[in-house]
């Protein structure tokens, strides 16, 4: 990548997409790196989506497909659209879904979450798992999820918050926050307010690991 590009303050969408694609293999190590805490909480996100199994669901920033596997398995009579900015991570996710024999239930779309190439009021549920804290601006991503949901459609999200425990707080300030700012042009922001501003109602916020993970669920009126 080179030091000059690494420390460049503003990156284009293409540069961020290329970073994700070159590092796609790292996401296969993500559960181990996080001591399997992300794996532990994915079922919570699925559960809060309250899926019956016949819905049309969009997963924003689907990455390498770990959450996609749970969603596709649940949608026995439904359909899943996986959207991600990186062709590299989408390719890995597609292979995982195909190995499970669930590819007839899933379509993959190469696009940024900030501008979904999908019709308004189309989906019964929108899911975003461990991504809102790493996008440059979470507000338009949340607004897009609101737009593509049908009235009564549910949003179910999980993202990394800012821990209150001393040890995790030190990790955030010394490692995670500088990483976000240097590599992805983002940093600590209050994401919860964007759900209210987008128009979601009945919002429920849950925290785990002393605030290290935040889960927000709600409904489009």
pTM of the model: 0.83
> Which one, of 194, 53, 43, 189, lies nearest residue 113 by Cα?
194
Position with higher pLDDT, 84 vs 211: 84
20, 88 Cβ separation under 8 angstroms: yes
Q: Looking at 105-148, which runs of residues are DSSP E strands?
A: 106-110, 123-129
Residue 46 has pLDDT above 80, yes or no: yes
**Burial class of 188 by CB neighbour count within 10 A (0 to 12, 13 to 18, 19+):** middle
Structural domains of the chain, with CATH: 3-219 (3.40.50.150)
Position with higher pLDDT, 16 vs 96: 96
Question: Which SS3 state, helix, strand or coil, does residue 12 take?
Answer: coil
Position with higher pLDDT, 75 vs 183: 75
The token duo for 48 is 């809060």
* One-character DSSP codes across 148-205: HEEEEEEEEEEEE----SHHHHHHIIIIIHHHHHHHSS------HHHHHHHT-EEEEE
Q: pLDDT grade, residue 2 (50/70/90)?
A: very low
61, 86 Cβ separation under 8 angstroms: no
């Amino acid at each position: 990548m080179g030091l000059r590009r690494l420390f460049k303050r503003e990156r284009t969408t293409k540069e961020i997409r290329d970073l994700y694609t070159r590092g796609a293999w790292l996401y296969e190590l993500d559960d181990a790196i996080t001591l399997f805490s992300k794996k532990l909480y994915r079922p919570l996100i699925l559960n809060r989506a309250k899926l019956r199994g016949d819905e049309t669901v969009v997963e924003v920033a689907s990455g390498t497909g770990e959450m996609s596997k749970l969603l596709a398995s649940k949608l026995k009579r439904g359909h899943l659209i996986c959207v991600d900015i990186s062709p590299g991570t989408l390719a890995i996710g597609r292979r995982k879904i195909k190995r499970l024999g669930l590819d007839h239930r899933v379509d993959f779309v190469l696009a940024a979450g900030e501008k979904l190439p999908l019709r308004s009021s189309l989906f019964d549920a929108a899911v975003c798992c461990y991504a809102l804290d790493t996008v440059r601006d979470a507000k338009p991503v949340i607004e897009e999820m609101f737009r593509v949901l049908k009235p009564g459609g549910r949003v179910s999200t999980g993202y990394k918050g800012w821990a209150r425990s001393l040890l995790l707080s030190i990790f955030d300030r010394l490692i995670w926050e500088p990483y976000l700012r240097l590599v992805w042009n983002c940093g600590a922001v209050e994401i919860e307010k964007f759900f209210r501003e987008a128009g979601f109602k009945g919002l429920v916020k849950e925290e785990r690991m002393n605030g290290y993970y935040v889960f927000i669920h709600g409904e489009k009126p």
